[in-house]
Amino acid sequence: MRAGAALRTQAVVTRLELDADRKRVRRVWYKRWNWSEGPGGGSYVVSEEQYTTGRIVILAANAIENPLILLRSNAANASGVVGQYLMDHPIKQSFALAPQPLFPFRGPQTTSDIEGFRDGDFRRQFAAFKTSLKNDGWSSTLTGAPRGNVMPPQRGPNDWNPGTLLDLVHNWGYFGLTLRNKIFDHATRQITLNSACEQLPIKENSVSLSDKQDALGIPRPLIRYRVDNDNGYVRECFKKVIQLHTVVFNAMGVSPDTRVMQLDPDDKDLTYAGSGHIMGTTVMGNDPASSVVNKDCRSHDHDNLYILGSCVFPTSSTANPTSTLAALALRAAEYVKTQLRSGGI
């Protein structure tokens, strides 16, 4: 901003306007909103569409909004793959109570990783994965104990699962010093193993335009997503993950009676979580017929349009996309600077 940038807050891009020859983005249209409190509650106050212009336009709204903007604009989609190949890192978690206190919740969220399954010949049969030794107790598990809101309608076979304050008080009748000691014993021994799995780029996993609109009158995203393809590449990985979790818990001396391993042998009730690592939907490639941007994150279709973020990832690997996302953005920024200084755009 000290260099002259204008920051327009509460501004939502609605569409891109292209030149007549469709080689350049001419305008970026957007709406601005405010929240107005009233006697009967609040409501959005939305401006009419406005536009801004620039020699270079950069979309950096992640892997849901970037393809939505392009689809609303009929832009950058000569390949027909905008919005396709949506990916995440599916997570398989196991949690247990260690035989002695580990004192989680202090320090980093993850204390260590098992990296030995991030690559290898096995990837011909099942997905790669990375296993984290979590240091946030059960906070990210299905129960979220001890603060979670899971409370069975009646007392279960033991008081450690789900282990939430609600269950301990309501179903077990603990209070006072007994409750305090029970929570201290439980919370200090919580351990979670978290394995994030590689997901293949499945074309049908996609973001498209819904027929429903948000409060600004803009189409909402319609998301189609499945974890696996027909050969069970990720599901086979889940089975290997559970085997590894079993080995780790056994080595720690964790009793089988105080561990939860989420696996159905017949895979009829697949339980998994997501990392929130949204990738794909405007994928990078050399061939304009099958990709949206080139190696510099520049649109194949429009000379002055760049698309940044993990949306350009053609594959997912096993770990958080942040470092690669940042590296690609820095490389694109250098290319943009070169173009601006040379007057070549």
Half-sphere exposure of 178 (CA within 13 A, CB side): 7
Instruction: Give the mean pLDDT of the chain.
Output: 93
pTM of full prediction above 0.95: no
pLDDT confidence of residue 44: 85
Q: Point out the least confidently predicted range of 10-24, 120-134, 199-213, 222-236.
A: 222-236
- Check if the beta carbon of residue 285 is closer than 8 Å to that of residue 78: no
The sign of the torsion formed by the CA atoms of 154, 155, 159, 165 equals positive
Residue 234, burial from CB neighbour count under 10 angstroms (0-12, 13-18, 19+): buried
Quickly list DSSP for 176-187.
HHHHHHHHHHHH
Q: Which domains does the chain have, with CATH numbers?
A: 11-86+277-342 (3.50.50.60), 91-201+227-261 (no CATH)
Dihedrals φ, ψ of 329, to 5°? -65, -40
Report whether pLDDT(74) > 90: yes
DSSP letter, residue 108: -
Please list, residue by residue across 310-335, b when 16 or more beta carbons sit within 10 angstroms of its beta carbon and e when fewer do.
bbbbeebbbbebeeebeebbeebeeb
Structure tokens at 214: 């948000």
Q: pLDDT tens, 189-243?
A: 999 999 999 999 999 999 999 999 998 999 999 999 999 888 889 989 998 999 9
For residue 269, name the pLDDT band (cuts at 50, 70, 90).
very low
